[in-house]
């Protein structure tokens, strides 16, 4: 108190310091008030928020004075200066990084090529003919599709792929996958090819519109978007080069409203087995745990990679897909429906359930995109749903299975088959209710628990699934190739003693309602899958733990045991 002299100013100063101390004390008290029994980072942040509020609030009359005259409030300001809000501090994206990210999200866009050449003039002879369109002038539809409006029909294009397969009689070509709202389109169109080292485009008449559907399946009407594979040969003098991108236009000199990157994935060495899964439509159905069991089983069988397409999925399914994507075991391509079809979550699902034929026609896009982007990367491509497994009966992997199947197929026909099909048999959900769960298997292992199946297989060639040979398939459908290169689409039917397509469903497909009654009445135990029991339980459970399906405590325990190992 000695500091307080008789002079007015001194007294004021004293008062201010006192006031400052009181204010600080109050802050402290308040801070403690909010701290519950569970002291942690939250209460700390509340505390600092209070500090911030008081010090920064201009309505508090003493801030100025305290800040300039006393030590204690200064230390409060110090605290403030040291506060660290936790924000994303990763370095800002360079343009190159943005380009790379866009490329991943939109594989059909020739953004890398465009970015490299955007500043140089690119057209045929002069500006008025076939200018390379800016990627900002392309006409998109439902995010992933690019348009071409012609005088007779609209094209919605999804992807373009370089085809130099030896079996392809048309020579080096680019095949473009898309939908056209015409049946038997008669419109003449052109491809404008763009090459890396070439400022001018190269023209070629579109050679064919290959319909990826049979008219007898329905929806054979003008006006409905139909799946097509469009072919453009590469002109003789350019056959040594791979085009960077391609546009389809009605008149050669048109400035295109579409420009697709030409996909050519050719790794040093082919891998063995790829699995393709059509657009996932499971927004409300949480199939995450079943999906983990399925992906792990495919991994054990020898699938090198699973290619998913994603329409709408539950957040738990996203979590599973992202996890495997990081491990490079899964690839996920986002997908929408083209044209005026609905893409609003939920509504889209209603549409796909109701419009059966449209759903089927739309599915041909992901199936064939998956084939074409993997043409040179895998020996076999299987199109499976997530409730189906190609199960080797007497062997332990797909490779071992094919080792015994190939000689048999060759004996039947002295030529490579376009596909090897496996017959379908139902493992229906409700059969378990009759028999109960198996005690030595976790209940969440759906496939391991469901070992009762109908005695009969569905008829030969009905509802089969194949290992497709990408050297031979021109267009794929769910069950069989629709068209093949190098002759008719031969398919070898793998004997049921070698492999079976195990199909895990609540019910048979609609078209088999009648037989389904009999399927249910005549069942057998089939524990073929149990040869993978230990491995499958271990791997599935391990993944589920890592993903937090058993609560955080389990995860922590697990991480600990992992680091100990």
Compute the distance between CA of residue 536 and CA of residue 420 in angstroms, rounded to an integer. 26
Compute the distance between CA of residue 286 and CA of residue 231 in angstroms, rounded to an integer. 40
Compute the distance between CA of residue 162 and CA of residue 264 in angstroms, rounded to an integer. 6
Least distance in angstroms from the C-beta of 93 to ligand NAG? 28
Query: Is residue 121 near ligand NAG by the rule CB under 6 A?
Result: no
Among 122-130, 224-232, 276-284, 372-380, the segment contacting ligand NAG (CB under 6 A): 122-130
Kind plus residue range of the DSSP H or E element containing 456: none
Least distance in angstroms from the C-beta of 453 to ligand NAG? 13
Kind plus residue range of the DSSP H or E element containing 529: none
By DSSP bridging, strand 173-180 and strand 226-233 are antiparallel
Of the candidates 7, 104, 120, 125, which one interacts with ligand NAG according to CB under 6 A? Answer: 125
Query: Is residue 549 near ligand NAG by the rule CB under 6 A?
Result: yes
Residues 218-277 close enough to bind ligand NAG by CB under 6 A: none
Helix, strand, coil distribution of the chain in percent, nearest 5: 35, 25, 40
CA atoms within 13 A of residue 347's CA, in its CB half-sphere: 7
Of the candidates 199, 345, 548, 556, which one interacts with ligand NAG according to CB under 6 A? Answer: 548
Of the candidates 210, 319, 531, 546, which one interacts with ligand NAG according to CB under 6 A? Answer: 319
The CA-CA-CA angle for residues 152, 176, 480, to 5°, reads: 105
φ and ψ at 211, to 5 degrees? -75, 130
Residues 17-76 close enough to bind ligand NAG by CB under 6 A: none
Query: Is residue 126 near ligand NAG by the rule CB under 6 A?
Result: yes
Nearer to ligand NAG, 106 or 183 (CB): 183
Least distance in angstroms from the C-beta of 184 to ligand NAG? 5
Query: Is residue 322 near ligand NAG by the rule CB under 6 A?
Result: no
Nearer to ligand NAG, 244 or 512 (CB): 512
Compute the distance between CA of residue 490 and CA of residue 415 in angstroms, rounded to an integer. 9
Q: Which tokens hold the place of 15? A: 């008062």
Least distance in angstroms from the C-beta of 549 to ligand NAG? 4
Nearer to ligand NAG, 200 or 400 (CB): 200
Nearer to ligand NAG, 309 or 549 (CB): 549
**Looking up tokens 């791979």, which residue turns up?**
242
Nearer to ligand NAG, 49 or 413 (CB): 413
Nearer to ligand NAG, 10 or 513 (CB): 513
Instruction: Give, as one character, the DSSP assignment of residue 398.
Output: H
Of the candidates 103, 142, 198, 316, which one interacts with ligand NAG according to CB under 6 A? Answer: 316
Query: Is residue 558 near ligand NAG by the rule CB under 6 A?
Result: no
For the chain, the maximum distance between any two Cα atoms, rounded to a whole number of angstroms, is 117
Query: Is residue 456 near ligand NAG by the rule CB under 6 A?
Result: yes
Query: Is residue 546 near ligand NAG by the rule CB under 6 A?
Result: no
Query: Do 171 and 137 meet the contact criterion of CB atoms below 8 Å apart?
Result: no
φ and ψ at 69, to 5 degrees? -115, -25
- Count of residues in contact with ligand NAG, rule CB under 6 A: 18
By DSSP bridging, strand 499-505 and strand 330-334 are unpaired
Least distance in angstroms from the C-beta of 271 to ligand NAG? 26
Least distance in angstroms from the C-beta of 276 to ligand NAG? 26
Least distance in angstroms from the C-beta of 220 to ligand NAG? 12
Compute the distance between CA of residue 466 and CA of residue 484 in angstroms, rounded to an integer. 14
Kind plus residue range of the DSSP H or E element containing 410: helix 398-412
Q: Which tokens hold the place of 114? A: 């465009």
Least distance in angstroms from the C-beta of 288 to ligand NAG? 7
For residues 172 to 191, the per-residue mask of contacts with ligand NAG, x marking binding by CB under 6 A and - elsewhere, is ----------x-xxx-----
Among 31-39, 425-433, 501-509, 546-554, the segment contacting ligand NAG (CB under 6 A): 546-554
Nearer to ligand NAG, 130 or 256 (CB): 130
Query: Do 389 and 447 meet the contact criterion of CB atoms below 8 Å apart?
Result: yes
Burial 333-352 (b: 16+ CB within 10 A, else e): bebbbbbebbbeeeebbebb
Least distance in angstroms from the C-beta of 252 to ligand NAG? 11
Least distance in angstroms from the C-beta of 13 to ligand NAG? 58
Compute the distance between CA of residue 270 and CA of residue 542 in angstroms, rounded to an integer. 30
Nearer to ligand NAG, 69 or 198 (CB): 198
Cα-atom radius of gyration of the chain, to the nearest Å?
A: 32
What does each C-alpha distance from 445 to 287, 291, 305, 548 come to in angstroms? 12, 10, 22, 17
The CA-CA-CA angle for residues 525, 530, 533, to 5°, reads: 150
Least distance in angstroms from the C-beta of 316 to ligand NAG? 4
Nearer to ligand NAG, 42 or 128 (CB): 128
Nearer to ligand NAG, 21 or 187 (CB): 187
**Looking up tokens 């006031």, which residue turns up?**
19
Least distance in angstroms from the C-beta of 203 to ligand NAG? 13
Compute the distance between CA of residue 150 and CA of residue 562 in angstroms, rounded to an integer. 60
Of the candidates 92, 414, 552, 563, which one interacts with ligand NAG according to CB under 6 A? Answer: 414
Nearer to ligand NAG, 48 or 416 (CB): 416
Among 12-20, 106-114, 121-129, 360-368, the segment contacting ligand NAG (CB under 6 A): 121-129
For residues 500 to 529, the per-residue mask of contacts with ligand NAG, x marking binding by CB under 6 A and - elsewhere, is ---------------x--x-----------
Among 13-21, 125-133, 464-472, 483-491, the segment contacting ligand NAG (CB under 6 A): 125-133
Query: Using CA of residue 198, residue 201, residue 205, residue 207, what is the dihedral sign?
Result: positive
Task: List the one residue out of 465, 276, 302 whose CA is nearest residue 371.
Answer: 276
Least distance in angstroms from the C-beta of 505 to ligand NAG? 16
What does the binding site for ligand NAG look like in residue numbers (CB under 6 A)?
A: 125-126, 128-129, 152, 182, 184-186, 316, 319, 414, 456, 515, 518, 547-549
């Amino acid at each position: 108190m000695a500091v307080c002299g008789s002079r007015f100013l001194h007294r004021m100063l004293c008062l201010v310091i006192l006031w400052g101390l009181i204010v600080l004390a109050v802050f402290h008290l308040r801070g403690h008030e909010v701290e519950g029994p569970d002291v942690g980072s939250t209460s700390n942040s509340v505390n600092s928020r209070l500090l911030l509020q008081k010090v920064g609030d201009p309505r508090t009359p003493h801030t100025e004075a305290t800040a300039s005259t006393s030590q204690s409030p200064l230390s409060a300001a110090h605290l403030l200066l040291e506060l660290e809000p936790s924000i994303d501090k990763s370095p800002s994206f360079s343009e190159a990084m943005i380009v790379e990210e866009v490329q991943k999200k939109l594989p059909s866009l020739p953004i890398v090529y465009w970015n490299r050449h955007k500043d140089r003039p690119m057209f045929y002879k002069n500006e008025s003919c076939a200018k390379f369109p800016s990627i900002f002038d392309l006409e998109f539809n439902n995010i992933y599709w690019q348009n071409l409006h012609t005088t007779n029909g609209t094209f919605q294009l999804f992807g373009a792929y370089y085809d130099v397969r030896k079996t392809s009689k048309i020579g080096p070509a680019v095949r473009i996958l898309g939908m056209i709202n015409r049946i038997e389109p008669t419109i003449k169109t052109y491809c404008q090819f763009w090459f890396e080292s070439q400022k001018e485009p190269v023209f070629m008449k579109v050679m064919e519109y290959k319909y990826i559907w049979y008219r007898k399946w329905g929806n054979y009407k003008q006006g409905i978007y139909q799946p097509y594979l469009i072919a453009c040969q590469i002109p003789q003098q350019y056959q040594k080069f791979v085009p960077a991108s391609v546009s389809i236009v009605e008149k050669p000199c048109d400035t295109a409203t579409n420009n697709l990157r030409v996909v050519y994935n050719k790794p040093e060495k082919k891998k063995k087995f790829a699995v393709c899964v059509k657009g996932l439509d499971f927004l409300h159905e949480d199939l995450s745990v079943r999906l983990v069991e399925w992906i792990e089983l495919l991994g054990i069988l020898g699938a090198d990679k699973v290619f998913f397409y994603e329409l709408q999925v539950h957040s738990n399914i996203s979590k599973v897909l992202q996890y495997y994507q990081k491990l490079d075991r899964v690839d996920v391509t986002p997908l929408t429906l083209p044209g005026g079809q609905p893409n609003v979550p939920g509504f889209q699902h209603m549409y796909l359930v109701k419009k059966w034929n449209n759903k089927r026609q739309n599915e041909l896009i992901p199936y064939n995109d998956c084939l074409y982007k993997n043409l040179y990367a895998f020996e076999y491509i299987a199109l499976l749903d997530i409730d189906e497994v190609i199960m080797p009966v007497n062997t332990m992997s797909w490779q071992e299975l094919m080792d015994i199947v190939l000689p048999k197929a060759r004996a039947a026909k002295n030529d490579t088959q376009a596909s090897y099909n496996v017959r379908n048999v139902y493992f229906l959900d409700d059969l378990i209710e009759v028999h109960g769960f198996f005690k030595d298997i976790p209940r969440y292992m759906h496939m391991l628990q469901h070992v009762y199946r109908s005695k009969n297989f569905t008829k030969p060639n009905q509802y089969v699934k194949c290992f497709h040979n990408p050297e031979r398939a021109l267009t794929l459908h769910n069950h069989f190739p629709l068209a093949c290169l190098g002759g008719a689409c031969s398919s070898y039917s793998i004997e049921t003693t070698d492999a079976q397509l195990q199909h895990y469903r609540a019910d048979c497909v609609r078209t088999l309602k009648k037989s389904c009654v009999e399927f249910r009445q005549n069942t057998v135990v089939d524990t073929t899958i149990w040869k993978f029991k230990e491995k499958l339980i271990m791997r599935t459970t391990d993944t589920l733990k890592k993903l937090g399906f058993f609560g955080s405590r389990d995860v922590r325990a697990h991480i600990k045991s992992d680091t100990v190992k």
